[in-house]
């Protein structure tokens, strides 16, 4: 029963951070919630074997499941609609919405692995070594993906000024 209490406490303490990571990867709140729930289910199945770095372990699951879903979706055909759904946006928040939209579009142009590196490195503020461990690759690969992603993002100067320490 102690495992259940530890798990419940872990979920309560990390849910919002994990959800933010998943949202930055998917750009869709519903899909982000599904992604976190799937990752937490997989973590529960291995809970007794997970060491002290539980959040890193779950974050790694999130990234791997997201890439798996992305590959599966890419192979399937998309269903388009006649017109996009209407969205209402409060007038007083338009500047923030515009900036966020620029960032989302820029992130959306990146391949899944580069997007994962940018999200983990710059939004989640993980070290290159932590990102490498999460993605199961070398630090050099993380640096390479980050470099390529930032070069692609630099095409639009308004995007690079949004990332901390870049510009």
Backbone angles phi, psi at 46, to 5 degrees: -110, 15
Closest C-alpha among 57, 29, 35, 59 to residue 124: 59
Confidence class of residue 162 from pLDDT cuts 50, 70 and 90?
low
Plot region of 77 (φ>0 → left; ψ -120 to 50 → alpha; else → beta): beta
CATH architecture of 92-160: Orthogonal Bundle (1.10)
Q: Torsion angle, CA of 40/45/46/47, rounded to 10 degrees?
A: 70
pLDDT digits (tens, 9 = 90+) for 34-54: 999 999 999 999 998 888 899
What's the CA gap between 61 and 45, in Å, rounded?
Answer: 12
What kind of architecture, by CATH, is found in domain 2-75? Orthogonal Bundle (1.10)
Q: Is the pLDDT of residue 163 over 70?
A: no
pLDDT per position as a tens digit, 41-99: 999 999 988 888 999 999 999 999 998 876 655 444 555 566 665 665 555 555 556 67
Q: What is the DSSP string of 84-132?
A: PPP----GGGHHHHHHHHHHHHHHHTS-HHHHHHHIIIIIS---HHHHH
Alpha-carbon gap, residue 13 to 88, rounded angstroms: 32
Domain boundaries, the chain: 2-75, 92-160
């Amino acid at each position: 029963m102690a495992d259940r209490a530890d798990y419940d406490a872990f979920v309560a303490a990390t849910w919002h951070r994990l959800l933010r990571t998943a949202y930055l990867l998917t750009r869709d709140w519903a899909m982000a919630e599904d992604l976190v729930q799937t990752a937490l289910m997989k973590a529960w199945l291995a809970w007794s074997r997970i060491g002290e770095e539980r959040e890193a372990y779950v974050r790694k699951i999130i990234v791997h499941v997201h890439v798996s879903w992305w590959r599966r979706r890419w192979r399937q055909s998309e269903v388009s609609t006649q017109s996009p759904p209407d969205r209402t946006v409060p007038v007083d928040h338009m500047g923030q919405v515009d900036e966020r939209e620029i960032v989302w579009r820029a992130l959306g142009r990146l391949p899944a692995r580069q997007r994962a590196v940018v999200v983990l490195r710059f939004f989640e503020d993980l070290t290159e070594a932590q990102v490498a461990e999460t993605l199961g690759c070398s630090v050099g690969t993380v640096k390479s993906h980050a470099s390529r992603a930032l070069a692609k993002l630099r095409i639009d100067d308004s995007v690079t000024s949004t990332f901390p320490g870049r510009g």
